């Protein structure tokens, strides 16, 4: 794998979330609490503020620290879920991961998010993006292909009926709207691919 510039990756992710904060809020206003964009922006700006400190740590420790920061700053339902994703990834990843280790660690992180959210694929959540991304990672897809798969997976939540979270209270009225968490997950996947591509 290309050498990972974690500080650059954090900057790209934070820029991406900030640029799409209004879109994420609009998606969440349709079927959720309407706070997803602002919450995610706040969390990733907090991570950005400590990017150099995170980047100085070994990768597993850095990911766990980022996860902890997200839990503390994102709030809402998303904070614990995105925090769990990063913390579980940090627990399972090697300090200098190869593709096989990254895919295996990401798989563990996806399982941790499913357990934390008591959810599974097909319930109109971020898992509907995370699982296809894991499969693509394990299947040796390129970063660009993985980003496209993530975008398509987020789009695929539109016709789903929400079965978890605030959106599930709407029942059939949740159909026809993209899940905000799925969209933000896809945005982060693309930003990671972009940052890794820059350092290749």
The full DSSP string for 51-112 is HHHHHTS-HHHHHHHHHHHHHHHH-TTHHHHHHHHHHHHHHHS-SS--HHHHHHHHHHHHHH
Query: Following CA atoms 68, 69, 71, 73 in sequence, which dihedral angle do they give, to the nearest 10 degrees?
Result: 170
For residue 26, count CB atoms less than 10 angstroms from its CB and return exposed for 0-12, middle for 13-18, buried for 19 or more.
Answer: middle
Extents of the domains making up the chain: 4-196
**What 3-state DSSP class applies to 136?**
helix
CA distance 162 to 170: 8
CA distance 178 to 90: 29
**Residue 5: DSSP 8-state:** -
Give the residue from 14, 15, 40 showing the smallest Cα distance to 27. 40
- CATH tag, 4-196: 1.25.40.340
CA-based torsion, 23, 78, 136, 175: positive or negative: negative
pLDDT in tens, the chain (200 residues): 445 789 999 999 999 999 999 999 999 888 778 899 999 999 999 999 999 999 999 999 999 999 999 999 998 889 999 999 999 999 999 999 999 999 999 999 999 999 998 889 988 999 999 999 999 999 989 999 999 999 999 999 998 877 766 666 666 776 888 999 999 999 999 999 888 776 54
- pTM for this entry: 0.92
Cβ-contact 151, 141 below 8 angstroms: no
Rounded to whole angstroms, the maximal C-alpha distance in the chain is: 47
């Amino acid at each position: 794998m290309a050498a990972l510039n974690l500080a650059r990756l954090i900057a790209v992710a934070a820029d991406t979330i900030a640029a799409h904060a209004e879109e994420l809020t609009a998606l969440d206003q349709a079927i959720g609490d309407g706070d997803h964009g602002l919450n995610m922006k706040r969390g990733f700006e907090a991570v950005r503020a400590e990017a150099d400190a995170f980047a100085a740590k070994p990768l597993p420790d850095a990911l766990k620290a980022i996860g902890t920061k997200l839990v503390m700053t994102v709030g809402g339902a998303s904070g614990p879920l995105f925090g769990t994703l990063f913390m579980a990834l940090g627990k399972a990843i090697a300090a200098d991961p190869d593709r096989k280790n990254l895919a295996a660690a990401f798989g563990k992180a996806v399982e941790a998010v499913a357990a934390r959210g008591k959810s599974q694929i097909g319930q109109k959540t971020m898992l509907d993006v995370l699982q296809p991304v894991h499969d693509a990672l394990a299947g040796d897809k390129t970063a660009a292909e993985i980003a496209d798969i993530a975008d398509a997976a987020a789009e695929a939540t539109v016709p789903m009926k929400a079965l978890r979270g605030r959106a599930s209270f709407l029942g059939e009225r949740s159909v026809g709207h993209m899940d905000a968490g799925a969209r933000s997950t896809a945005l982060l996947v693309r930003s990671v691919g972009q940052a890794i591509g820059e350092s290749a």
